A and B are shown apart, each in its own frame.
Chain A
């Protein structure tokens, strides 16, 4: 088996509690460890406020650990962010390029993919209209179509598996699943356990900013459900 491409050891992240002089700090992550290998699909489960999203931001390299160590091989990690940097007064086309640059693509690559983005987002002639004229569903469709173009070594997903109406939800969900089937390394955070169970082969369970258990999907799920007194999953 290949070596870990990302390793966290006892990582903690502290935020200041308030924007006040002398306000205290709180630890959103207290002590989280994990290791991720190429091709793995790791799901992160835990209750609200357990620190799941903060963990993803650490993996993405946005937050640097305040304690513990983070070891990252030379791999790129990208948060799947919809509508990142969108500007209301610009056309869908300009926003697609801008957002694409922000998720780390080169300009010529985005420009080459504009027809595909336009096609996938189903915007038609609206693609060249300012996105201020779009419905929120249209913005999300464009956002997803751009975000899915990112090609990081590790894709980080925070509960955005499906957007838009029922039809587009299926389409966007399928596009992501297709990426995973092709061997994309993924870290997925979700409340929807079903989704996590379906898509991931490994799970990390965190609680109050501490990792409780990391292991293969079934054993972690079983332990998690016992803790929640929900019995075994059906």
Chain B
């Protein structure tokens, strides 16, 4: 049974990526082109026009957006996955966790392509590879756990309350601005800044920027705290999905 589910997850992920590739004329190119266009838009508004940046703003922004987009797509794509597969869930006895997980894995594979491109840009911009890169896998795992947990939570509720879909994108936009993706959080006035600093996403982005831009090892204590939060969120998300799973086959599509 377990091996069978692993095969199902693996092959479904392959199918998801493959189908997405053949849905558009340029296929694979969009994996890179779409985020690149979004990054260009942010850079244009915040750096060229508003001049919020300062030195090194471009790498700061690119790292933030790359990691954030990965988390966001895990949360939204994973979050809608049970809802959009209700037709299948009504007909077949499958572990529902498979559906969000497949979306998240597909998004993660796409993230690695974009990340590779990011590394090239950073090297060209004068931030060469360094020893601290060895901390990246740890950072990725913690980030994935957090995003997956949030995604599972959303996924568990959206089938029951589909109206939530209209809210989630907006909430995530606010979270993005409050996580220091676009501008550094030290620009935020004091009492609010300390509250925002509790946000695990901000912590993760800080660590990623430290490694990639300055060759600094992450603050392991802070990272340990974030990883405990992430693991907790992930386990909680899985538990909620499992708890609600008998209800999904009964829902109207």
Chain A contacts to B: CB under 8 angstroms: 13, 15-16, 19, 57, 60-64, 79, 81, 84-85, 87-90, 94, 97-98, 101-104, 106-107, 130
The segment out of B2-10, B37-45, B176-184, B218-226 that lies at the interface is B2-10
Q: Do the beta carbons of B92 and A79 come within 8 Å of each other? A: yes
- Of all chain A residues, the one with the shortest Cβ separation from B98 is A102
Number of A-B contacts (CB under 8 A): 63
Complexed CA–CA distance, A222 and B94 (Å): 39
Chain B contacts to A: CB under 8 angstroms: 3-4, 7-8, 11-12, 15, 18-19, 22-23, 88-94, 162, 246, 249-252
Q: Do the beta carbons of A94 and B249 come within 8 Å of each other? A: no
Q: Do the beta carbons of A102 and B7 come within 8 Å of each other? A: no
Q: Do the beta carbons of A62 and B23 come within 8 Å of each other? A: no
Complexed CA–CA distance, A57 and B250 (Å): 10
Q: Do the beta carbons of B4 and A63 come within 8 Å of each other? A: no
Q: Do the beta carbons of A106 and B93 come within 8 Å of each other? A: no
Partner of B15, one of A60, A63, A98: A98
* Consensus secondary structure, chain A interface: loop
Min CB–CB distance A153 → chain B (angstroms): 14
Q: Do the beta carbons of B18 and A63 come within 8 Å of each other? A: no
- Of all chain B residues, the one with the shortest Cβ separation from A101 is B8
Q: Do the beta carbons of A130 and B92 come within 8 Å of each other? A: no
Partner of A130, one of B11, B22, B89, B94: B22
- Of all chain B residues, the one with the shortest Cβ separation from A98 is B15
Partner of A94, one of B15, B92, B93: B15
Min CB–CB distance B1 → chain A (angstroms): 9
User: Among A16, A62, A81, A89, which residue has the most Cβ atoms of chain B within 10 A?
Assistant: A62
Q: Do the beta carbons of A98 and B11 come within 8 Å of each other? A: yes
Complexed CA–CA distance, A130 and B8 (Å): 20
Other A-B pairs beyond A13-B250, A16-B250, 5, CB < 8 Å: A15-B250, A63-B246, A63-B249, A94-B18, A102-B88
Q: Do the beta carbons of A85 and B92 come within 8 Å of each other? A: yes
Complexed CA–CA distance, A107 and B8 (Å): 8
Q: Do the beta carbons of A64 and B92 come within 8 Å of each other? A: no
Q: Do the beta carbons of A62 and B92 come within 8 Å of each other? A: yes
Q: Which residues of A contact B92 (CB under 8 A)?
A: 62, 79, 81, 84-85, 102-103
- Of all chain A residues, the one with the shortest Cβ separation from B5 is A101
Q: Which residues of B contact A94 (CB under 8 A)?
A: 15, 18
